Structure 1
């Protein structure tokens, strides 16, 4: 079932059958350079199961990003509840297989998720957080209208929080 549709993408719930495609980004050392380590095949499946649990608990999570042109999953994007600097807040996150990078798919999916967070889920604000080195993700957040809110440390790494606020 499609949750969000954009011009080029469909976002739908992840399923275990997506593990092979999703591992192309989550297990890739380059794509996961801002994480502690690339995901093992088992961790990719755990990631999918965590999102399936989020769908049940929150009615949202990271969804499969399907490129309409080829009908194939090229990553994930969505809204998860994260503990950021002591608060539980909705965060927009994404991972796109690098061969599909720099084509605007992350921005397109993240913008659609921001709209969904405001219009459907009725969140007054949505957040993004990244390590200070993760400039590509910070740029996507800026492109969808997020602004730097503050910096903090998590697990010894400096993080940046960006926010978009729903205006009445």
Structure 2
């Protein structure tokens, strides 16, 4: 079932059967450069189960990103509840398989998720946070209208937080 549809993409709930395709990004050392480590097969499956739980708990999570042309799985994108500097907030996150990066898919999916957060979920603010070294993700956040909110430290080092507010 399609949750969100854009010009080139649609987003649907992740399923356990997506683990092989999702591993193409979550288990890729280059794609996971800003994470503590690439995910094992078990961690990819746990990631999917975590999102399935989020769908039940919050009515959102990270969704499968599907390229309409060819019905191709290219990653995940969505809204999860994250603890950012001791505050639980809705956060837009994404992971796009390397061969599909640089084509605007992350921006297109993230923008659709931002609109969904405001228009469907009725959040007043939505956040994005990354390590300070993750410039590509910060640029996606900027492209969808997010502004610098603050910096904070967590177990993964210094983080930058960006925010968008409902118009």
Residue 73 (structure 1) shift: 1.0
Instruction: Kindly indicate whether residue 80 of structure 2 is the aligned counterpart of residue 96 of structure 1.
Output: no
Consecutive unaligned residues in structure 1, runs of 5 or more: none
RMSD: 0.6
Deviates further, 149-158 or 72-81: 149-158
Q: Which residue of 1 aligns with 2:39?
A: 39
- Does the residue aligned with 2:51 lie in a helix, a strand or coil? helix
Runs of 4+ in 1 over 2 A off after TM superposition: none
Residue 156 (structure 1) shift: 5.2
Q: Which residue of 1 aligns with 2:107?
A: 107
Q: Distance in 1 between matches of 2:58 and 2:87?
A: 16
Alignment of 1:109-148 (within 5 A): 109-148=109-148
Q: Distance in 2 between matches of 1:107 and 1:157?
A: 25
Consecutive unaligned residues in structure 2, runs of 5 or more: none
TM-score by length of 2: 0.99
Q: Which residue of 1 aligns with 2:63?
A: 63
For this pair of structures, how many residues does the alignment match? 167
Q: Which residue of 1 aligns with 2:9?
A: 9
Alignment of 1:12-31 (within 5 A): 12-31=12-31
